[in-house]
Structure 1
Amino acid sequence: MPTGVALRDAREQLFAAAERVLLRDGPNALTSRAVAAEAGVAKGVVHRHFTDFDAFLADLVTDRAARVAARGDELAARAGAGDVPGNVAAVLAEVFGPVALSVVALTASRDGLRARLRAARPFGVPVLAEAAEVIAGYLAAERDAGRIAADTDVDVLALTLVGAAHLLYAGRDDRPGDAEVRRIAAASLAPALT
């Protein structure tokens, strides 16, 4: 392995390498050696930037979850425009992309990682929890706009949508079509739409 290779943004390059390993080989293949090899750097580079591999994985998961959370303002800005089930279905399709599903699988497969993440956030599965928060924020904005019934518990509805979508996406070799995702969104939202 090369040593002394300059990395512009070591953290992001290592995260990108980890994603490639996750997508190609699954969570069980994700090791510091595999990440270093994928990034084309010495194994010590991972440990130079992170206290241990679980710290690296926790930062990776936290970073990818933050990317989901960052979509909240953009989605809330759609309130009052377009079709509510269509807006939600589009976000679900994006949230449940291959990387996010791999990050959720990674979290589920590593006890040390889960423990570290729980110390920072005592509830929910990273990525899925952020998706529920983003959707709840959007649904609250739609409720304020009068397109969702005033008595709707948007937090529970968001959890329902994320749970249903996760079951639709998880464990498949293919991605569900847009119509399948929209069907789940429309059926879940139907009682709340005005």
Structure 2
Amino acid sequence: MPTGVAIRDVREQLFAAAERVLLRDGPNALTSRAVTTEAGCAKGVLHRHFADFDAFLTELVQDRLRRLDSQATALCDSAGSGTVADNLTDALSRLFGSVAVAIVGLVTSRDELRARLRRIRPTGVPLLTEATAMVASYLTAERELGRIAADADVETLAHTLIGAGHLLFADRKSAPPEPEAVRRTVTTVLAGAAVGPRA
């Protein structure tokens, strides 16, 4: 098997293991030993592919941020179809129902990881910043279609939706919120900005 393929498989195996540990046990339990044990490989495997554990975590966050691109494309492609509230409810549920909340907790709990990410992305909290841009782009598209008021401040609406969505999903020990609770939050935030019955 070519070296590049083998390395990519190991990286994905380690990233998936890290996600499982994060989701099950939280950011404080995420150690190189926990990841390699979860992945079923020797501890040295991680250090063969990454300079140190914070380098591994930096790559994990970067990889998960790249995956957000497909969600952003799907959300923007939904502009003009369905309802704005339903599209945003689905997007927030997919975003925060994944490992995203745990990644945000990881970034905020590890100083060295945060410092490394800050060198790559100088502003904002990784993932939350990209998610806010995703929602703002979608709301801009809907505003151009006339389903969001022409004078709506899409940046503020996007920040509010991401902040509220994050808070709804932040308690990882409880069951995720019901879709209706997410929808109620979305419609409350959009009150006054949504236009027409299909918004």
1:69–1:131 Cα contact (<8 Å) kept? no
Residue deviations 1:46-91 (CA, integer Å, cap 9, x gap): 1111111101001111111221233111111111111101100110
Residue deviations 1:108-152 (CA, integer Å, cap 9, x gap): 111111111111111221121111111111111101111111122
Q: Kindly tell me the number of residue pairs found equivalent between the two proteins.
A: 189
**Aligned-residue identity in percent:** 59
1:150 matched to which residue of 2?
150
> How far off is 1:98 after superposition?
4.3
List aligned pairs for 1:19-30, cutoff 5 A: 19-30=19-30
CA–CA distance in structure 2, aligned partners of residues 162 and 69 of structure 1: 16
1:27–1:102 Cα contact (<8 Å) kept? yes
1:66–1:130 Cα contact (<8 Å) kept? no
Which structure 1 segments of 5+ residues have no match?
1-5
1:9 is paired with a residue of what secondary structure? helix
Residue deviations 1:144-172 (CA, integer Å, cap 9, x gap): 11111112221221011000111121125
Please give the TM-score of this superposition, normalised by the length of structure 2.
0.90
2:7–2:49 Cα contact (<8 Å) kept? no
CA–CA distance in structure 2, aligned partners of residues 40 and 149 of structure 1: 53
1:7–1:13 Cα contact (<8 Å) kept? no
List aligned pairs for 1:1-194, cutoff 5 A: 9-171=9-171, 173-194=174-195
Q: Which shifted more, 147-156 or 107-116?
A: 147-156
CA–CA distance in structure 2, aligned partners of residues 7 and 35 of structure 1: 16
Which structure 2 segments of 5+ residues have no match?
1-5
Q: Which shifted more, 175-184 or 63-72?
A: 63-72
CA RMSD of aligned residues (A): 1.4
Please give the TM-score of this superposition, normalised by the length of structure 1.
0.93
2:143–2:150 Cα contact (<8 Å) kept? yes
